[in-house]
Structure 1
Amino acid sequence: MASWSVWSGRCGVGFYATACLMVPSLGHAEQEPANSRKVLHAEAHSPRPVPVRTVPAHSESMTVSAARRAFHFAAAQHEADSSTRLTPELLVKRGVVNLRDLEKVAPNLSIQSVNGTGTMNFYLRGMGMRDFTQNNVPSVMPYLDDVAFPIATFMSGMMFDLAGVEVTPGPVGFTHGLADTGGEVNLHTADPTRTWHGGASEDIASYARSRTNFFVSGPLAHNLFFRLAGQMNEGGAWQYSPSHGRYQGAANEGALRAKLQWLPDEKTDIMVTGHWMDDESETTLVRPVANFQPNEPYPILPYKQANWSMAPDFAKLIGRPANLVPSEHNMMWGATLRMSRDLGFARLTSISSYNSGRIAEYTDQDGTTWHAGDSYRNINGDLFSQEVQLKSRGGDAPLQWVVGMYYNRTNMNQSWFYDQSDTNKYLTGTSYLQKQQTFSQYAHVSYRLPGRVTLFAGINHESDDRHIQNVATSYYYPDGTTSVARFAPQGALGNQVTFETGAQWQALSNLMFYFKISKGFKPGGFTANTTQVQDQLAPFKPETDLGYEVGFKSDIIPNRFRLNGALFYYDYHDQQYLSVVALPVGILAHYVNIPKSYTYGVEFNAELHPLDHVYIMQNFGYMRGEYQVFQALNKTATTAQHAATGIWSGIYSDYAGADAGMPKLTLNGSADYRLPVWGKYEWETGVDWMYRSQQQLAPRSYGAYCLPPYFQLGAHTTFRPANDRWSVTVYASNLLNRQYFESGAITTTTYFWIPGPPRFVGGRFGINF
């Protein structure tokens, strides 16, 4: 078993990625007291300097020779949460190479593309927001190395050289960062190492897809360390356009990340991180499934075929070539300064971060050669954040606490252009400037009582202030004339106190129960699509939810059978929802607040090591949700009334008791067989699977307004030496070549689905030192 511990602990790319999970982090952290929150941080992230500096210089070699643990995150088994924690090895093995892929490895999680682009919307336990303009706070906040990204698109391309990922459901913001209603997705990147390590991997697959990764890390001086990592993704175009005679959807993306760590003394740690990403990838073409112009039926194409159009007038308007294909033209960069100081009784940490992005996306939202849903958007934005935190030293002390403040500021210039000339006979463009700042203060405390009972409580106060201004919509007519409508600025202020309280009971050394109540908060915002009247800019209200969760964590048979579970219920108020409203000019898209709704469900995570060479993982998620108070516009009745009276006046339907959407059942798991070969090598083979049930895209919807259920199966086999100097892998995703759809939405004349990729068969070779 020693060879397995070398493979699991040593830094390297090989088969398992350009991520590096350092041995001192795992080996040392899992020996700390089980109730230490500091231990969880050290174990779940890449190695932090505090544990590294406190272990002897020879500890790394000692840990490498230690016995292999069947399951990771032993310390987290004593934490009162239902977070899904993922190692970099698992991410690579399951083909998790972008944010959307995370739904393959976490229960009740949906991450869906906006119109086939790299922009994603997050939904966790049924809570989420369909924000195609990306100018509002996501219901599930993405983080990169403890920095919040309210503009989620700015995190694109960052899933490489990882140390781990955490998916945390429910109200958050009591121990770090910003408050939110749905939860968090946290990416932790690998830190510099104390000794020299490096590696590279090349992944070649079907449709000429190529993924290249590398990293190099080591000391520059006795107290100065660095890490440089990068990736490049190319090819993979599997959709064919008959009208253009070419394949569509090829990736063309590159990214770099550099870290410099300075330890001026035994108590101080300073880390500077910089990253850059450029994305010129083609987007996935949509598949039209409902046509609102029945006199012109849509062409029916095979699954892997799709079309698009680019009118010369539209290309001239947006300043792009007439042969432009649906694609991204994005560049993001940023820098983070993290400083911490051991004060003896606590650790003081400061995290300062600046991120900037320039995004340009062209999509064809009707999936035909018509000019009925072509869209081009530009986002120029920047994010600045500052967090200051004071945290108790952890260890075995019964009292643990953390207090902190988080400030976030965003500036965004955005413009949208639409070609609907086949329906409206003109082109449109809407532009605006949005500014926002958030100030959050939080505190959390836990105390361990006799009888192995721990009580905990947290509080967060958050104030969010945002303004939208310089809003203008231009209409470009075929005769060359232009008209411009300008609108007054709007503001929205959110101010809320949220809380968390609960208890956990360590009934046995390998069995823990917990219960908690928590309240979440998400600021309001603006509808910022094609603005036609001032009323469209009226801000929607903040949303809140009150969550109840009871769960358990158990290692029923240590290193053989682990089972964790949670039961949850969320009472939702003023849920933010993309709907439509009737205004004097017609029926227009607008975010509304659903006064009252609820979601409940259950989750289980099982890990089994029944035989010496067999490893099985299974996630199970089931949830239901209903709208309790919700009056929504009836478009059919409202349109009929307008035809009879000539007046646009809303007629509303009662959706009380309607299903709140989202897949009710999510399953994902894997089974692996690992066998030592000739005493110097290891062979591993396995399969993985994912199932998602039907998803309603609108209340009481059916047919084209529901995404069909789907099942995915993958497989892999890997051969590597015990010292992990190299590895060779053959794999397949969507092994059964199923046809399925990942998300759906609506444009002026079309309801469309986003198809998922077909079967990919590939090979990966990696070397490391």
Structure 2
Amino acid sequence: MVHGIRSAAISTSALAVALLATPAMAQGEPAEPPRAPEAGETGLQDIVVTARRRSESLQDTPVAITAVSSSMLESMGTTKIADLQGQAPNLLITQQVSGAAAANISIRGLSFADIEKSFDPTVAVVVDGVFIGTSTGQFMDMFDIESIEVLRGPQGNLFGRNTIGGVINIRRTRPKNEFSGKFQVEYGNFDTFSGRAVLHVPVSDTVSAKLFGFHTRTDGFYDYFADGSPRGGGRNWNYGVAIGFEPTAEFDALLTVEQQESTHDNGVSSISGTGELFCAFALPIECDRNTTSDLYTTFSDPSRATYKSPAVTLEMNYDAGGVGLTSITSYRESEDSSFEDVDGLTENLYRVDRSSNYRQFSQELRAAGEFSDTFDYVVGAYYFDSHYNLDQYTDLFGGGFYRSQYTVGDSTSYAFFGDFNWEVLPTVRVNFGGRWTKDKKALQTMAPDATGTFADFGRNSKSWSKFTPKVSVDFRPTDDLMFYASWSRGYRSGGFSGRGLDFVSATTPFNPETVDSYEVGLKSEWLDNRLIFNLAAFFTKYDDIQQNITKSGGSTGNITIVENAASAEVKGIEADMTILPVDRLTIRAALGLLDTKFKGFVNQEAYTITDADGNVVEAGLHTYDYSAVDMIYAPDITASINFSYEQPLGTGELRLNGSYRYIDPYDQQISRDARIPVVQNSGTTVLTSNDPRVRTDKQNLLDASITYSIPVGDGEANVTVFGRNLLDDRGAATAFTVAGLWSFATAREPRAYGVSVGYEF
């Protein structure tokens, strides 16, 4: 079946090109970060980005973008997508340990932290033009990355409906028609080893191949309380082949076949406290622990999760001059299973055994060209289809595993879009366009009903459609200065709650959420292009926010569902700077400021009052008003400063790199403090903060590396000594409370250090 779908995907794309027979605009040159000048050059070099599906200078693009150097991250021993956190203003990326290769991503305070495949991400990760449809699979290795663009603000016009926060646009290296490669081995503390290899092989004058493989293993940085052994380790593999075909200067194709696999211990740390039910059964040492250094000790038995995800992508470009077509066809599937002791306590109070299967197919066709020298366009169509099933068994209070949920979900989306650039005056451009999207979601859930019988709540479906426009104006008084203003609307599809475990929660849909974003910005170059300074200010109106809310119900006593809970306003300022103060020294800095405010965010919780005989004398709903609490993953300040210095030494070169990142405290869940008793009346309680345990401490992250490279044969060998989080700043990466029952968290990486050896030719 899988092979048939893959063949159909490839055939569909090929047929589309043949039938349309329209010339295409190729993907264009990949983005490059600022770099120091070469011999004879005087300033920082131009940065080419493809944020608007065109190849254009970053300084000429009226969008808030940060281009991050993958080579800089690699030289500092940072090779995961999470290491982008803090490098771009108002960007957070943490790993969601409950899901394989799953990421929690927030841009400008907009996020949705959940691994369930019934929910769409708020920030899109796009790899080689392909949107990854769930948070699972977004947590990537970056060794083979050619360009990374962090696009901030709604990008629904060109990138789709689930991009209301922004897009991380990643392109990997393409096969080269020359024999070349890059290899690296690395060893660090926590018995961490990694090996990475990319090999380019010319097959013929028109065909080239790229073979790639990455492997990482680690024992983990947690300590098991029972015997002091390391916990939280895992093994990861990513391997595949990319075949490039370029028979003429007008046509090229790229076929990539790959697989990602992982096994890991996804244990969690206890942050349960007095007043929560599970602490009545736990050892005293397991409750009322701090949310910083205590997180690195675990009490529960080892957990195990596995993940396997094959994928195939076919990209084709045909260029016949003024007009053209790009086709991107992709199929991706995944199998993951997870056995978790979710409460993080020694006693087996809440354990789950989950397995799920997921697949997605997408097809995008884009035409691009020019009506005149002053008017260009990109238009296209997009189709996306996904299917998943989840089977879960639960053990509650050691009573034995029972089947607590079986869910099947489907999602179908198609869209038509256009984006137009019009230079109305030599110094003034207008950009406008929009996207019309049609979505359909369906969900069928089976779970124990009120009598304990495994019941089928039926298959339910609903459709939504939305038009999301965008318009911007930019003014360039000089070649080195641009001002711009824009308005854009973002849209995130509605759906059904995959965790709904009773009839109402499993069959009631939530509606789409929308964002209206207003932005003004400045892009500038100074000092003969030795200084680049970009500034953006924005105001975002966020309506019908989809929010996870935990309520009583279901066979386990609680259910977490999504509701359109509130609206919000987000204001902010972002600054990016790159400076070349002297030759061979490059300094980069970023600053993000956020101010967020909920509006009309209320949740009702049931209460009952009984008499001495157990008879109900009063029942109703108490209202909790969350409007004054902070939005999640929305720190007030994110800031970073990086430097890179290169110095010839002997026959080789010495490179020094350093990075400091500051992240203000932020909340990770909308959560009423579980230690506050439920109020037994029909009144309203106004909350001014979330549970303090789900709030991170401030983060001061210092990284550094020293690299020495030397010519060897036809290539270059290098040795890097690196350190991450040198200040050993410890605290939570994720934290959650569960309906007054228990609370858990995961820890961020402590001080890590090691050495890597590489060779590139």
Same-fold status (TM-score > 0.5): yes
CA distance in 1, matches of 2:655, 2:351: 47
Give the total of aligned pairs.
Answer: 693
Summarize the Cα distance change of 1:112–1:64 in structure 2 as closer, same or farther, 3 Å threshold: closer
Preserved contact between residue 122 and residue 162 of structure 2 (Cα < 8 Å): no
- Distance in 1 separating the partners of 2:725 and 2:188: 13
Equivalent positions of 1:420-499 (< 5 A) are 420-421=396-397, 427-469=402-444, 471-474=445-448, 483-499=453-469
Q: Indicate conservation of the 8 Å contact 2:603/2:624, yes or no.
A: yes
1:119-166 Cα deviation digits (max 9, x unpaired): 222221111112232321111111111111112313444533111111
Q: Which residue of structure 1 aligns with residue 470 of structure 2?
A: 500
Per-residue CA deviation, residues 89-147 of structure 1 (Å, 9 max, x unaligned), is: 12313444233332142221222333454322222111111223232111111111111
User: What is aligned with 1:725?
Assistant: 716
Q: Aligned with 2:297: secondary structure? A: coil
Q: Identity, % of aligned pairs?
A: 20
SS of alignment partner, residue 58 of structure 2: helix
Q: CA deviation at 1:194?
A: 2.6
**Which residue does the alignment assign to 1:340?**
317
Give CA-to-partner distance per residue, 1:556-611, whole Å, 9 cap, x none. 22442211111011111101001134669976322111342111111111112212
What is the CA deviation profile of residues 39-63 of structure 1, one whole-angstrom value per residue up to 9, with x for unaligned ones? Answer: 99414179xxxxxxxxxxxxxxxx9
Amino acid at match of 1:745: F
Superposed CA deviations along residues 364-420 of structure 1, whole A, max 9, x for unmatched, are 3222212223233212111100111101169x9321100000100001011233322
Distance in 1 between residues matched to 2:26 and 2:323, nearest whole Å: 15
Equivalences for residues 549-564 of structure 1 within 5 A: 549-564=519-534
Unaligned runs of 5+ in 1: 1-36, 47-62, 311-324
| Cα displacement (A) at 1:193 | 1.1
Distance between the aligned counterparts of 2:432 and 2:610, measured in 1?
A: 54
Structure 2 distance, partners of 1:601, 1:492, is 35
126, 131, 138: which is aligned to 1:143? 126
Is this contact kept in 1: 2:64–2:153, CA < 8 A?
no
Q: How far apart, in 1, do the equivalents of 2:401 and 2:354 lie? A: 17
For residues 650 and 127 of structure 1, the distance between their equivalents in structure 2, rounded to whole angstroms, comes to 30
Cα displacement (A) at 1:64: 8.8
Q: Does 1:689 align with 2:660?
A: yes
Q: Secondary structure at the match of 2:620?
A: coil
- Asked if 1:602 corresponds to 2:573, the answer is yes
Aligned positions of 1:263-274 closer than 5 A: 263-274=246-257
What is the correspondence of 1:178-189 to structure 2 with a 5 Å cutoff? 178=161, 180-189=163-172
- String of CA shifts for 1:529-564, please: whole Å, max 9, x gaps: 261333443111100111101111111224422111
Which of 727, 737, 741 pairs up with 2:732? Answer: 741
Q: Which moved more, 1:115-124 or 1:538-547?
A: 115-124
Compared CA separation, residues 267 and 66, structure 1 to 2 (3 A): farther
Corresponding residue of 2:207: 224
- TM (norm. structure 1) is 0.84
Question: Aligned partner of 1:767: which letter?
Answer: Y
Letter in 1 for 2:120: V
Unaligned runs of 5+ in 2: 1-23, 49-56, 672-688
Q: CA shift at 1:445, angstroms?
A: 0.2
Q: Partner residue of 1:111?
A: 93
Are the aligned partners of 2:449 and 2:554 in contact in 1 as well (CA < 8 Å)?
no
Q: Which amino acid aligns with 1:732?
A: G
Q: Is the 8 A contact 2:523 2:533 kept in 1?
A: yes
- Residue 763 of structure 1 aligns to a residue in which SS? strand
Secondary structure of residue in 1 paired with 2:84: helix
Match 1:295 to one of 280, 283, 298 = 280
Residues in 1 aligned to 2:324 and 2:31: alpha-carbon distance in whole angstroms:
18
Change in CA separation of 1:640 and 1:275 when aligned onto 2, cut-off 3 Å: farther
- Deviation, 1:237, is 1.6
Matches within 5 A, 1:16-415: 41-44=28-31, 67=41, 70=44, 73=47, 75-115=57-97, 117=99, 118-157=101-140, 159-178=142-161, 180-243=163-226, 245-283=228-266, 285-291=268-274, 292-293=276-277, 294-296=279-281, 298-300=284-286, 303=294, 305-309=296-300, 325-392=302-369, 397-415=373-391
Amino acid paired to 1:374: R
Post-superposition Cα deviations, 1:512-543, rounded to whole Å, max 9, x if no partner, equal 11110000111011212261333443111100
| Counterparts in 2 of 1:735 and 1:648: CA distance versus 1, 3 Å | farther
| 1:521 and 2:491 correspond | yes
Residues 708 and 155 of structure 1, relative CA distance in 2, 3 Å threshold = closer
> SS at 2:264's partner residue?
coil
Residue number among 407, 419, 425 corresponding to 2:395 in the alignment: 419
Q: For the Cα contact (< 8 Å) 1:468–1:491, is it kept in 2?
A: yes
Q: Is the 8 A contact 2:427 2:475 kept in 1?
A: yes
Tell me if the contact between 1:416 and 1:529 (Cα under 8 Å) persists in the aligned partners: no
Secondary structure of the equivalent of 2:212?
Answer: strand
Aligned to 1:714: 703
Tell me the secondary structure at the aligned position of residue 344 of structure 1: coil
SS of corresponding position for 1:175: helix
Shift of 1:702: 4.7
Q: Are the aligned partners of 1:45 and 1:188 in contact in 2 as well (CA < 8 Å)?
A: no
Please state how far the C-alpha of 1:259 moved relative to its aligned partner: 1.0
Shift of 1:639: 6.3
- In the superposition, the TM-score normalised over structure 2's length comes to 0.85
Report the CA distance shift for 1:639/1:694 in structure 2 as closer, same or farther (over 3 A): farther
Residue 617 of structure 1 contacts residue 671 of structure 1 at CA under 8 Å; is this kept in 2? yes
Partner Cα distance (1:561, 1:491) in 2 = 54
Letter in 1 for 2:196: N
- Judging changes above 3 Å, is the alpha-carbon distance between structure 1 residues 90 and 39 closer, same or farther for their aligned structure 2 residues? farther
Letter in 1 for 2:312: A
TM alignment of 1:538-617, pairs within 5 A: 538-581=508-551, 588-617=559-588
Distance (whole Å) between structure 1 residues aligned to residue 617 and residue 112 of structure 2: 34
TM-superposed CA distance for 1:429, in Å, is: 2.2
My pick for the range that moved more, 483-492 or 188-197, is 483-492
CA, structure 1 residues 64+220, in 2 after alignment: closer, same or farther (shift >3 Å)? farther
CA contact (8 A) 1:115 1:365 kept: no
8 Å CA contact 1:289–1:704 kept in 2: the answer is: no
Aligned to 2:52: none
Q: What displacement does 1:747 show?
A: 3.5
Separation of aligned partners in 2, 1:571 and 1:426: 45
Matched, 1:668 2:640: yes
Secondary structure of the structure 2 residue equivalent to 1:403: strand
Q: How far apart are residue 208 of structure 1 and its match?
A: 1.0
CA distance in 1, matches of 2:661, 2:38: 34
Q: CA deviation at 1:362?
A: 2.7
What's the counterpart of residue 322 of structure 1? none
Of 490, 498, 501, the match for 1:531: 501
The alpha-carbon deviation at position 616 of structure 1 amounts to 1.3
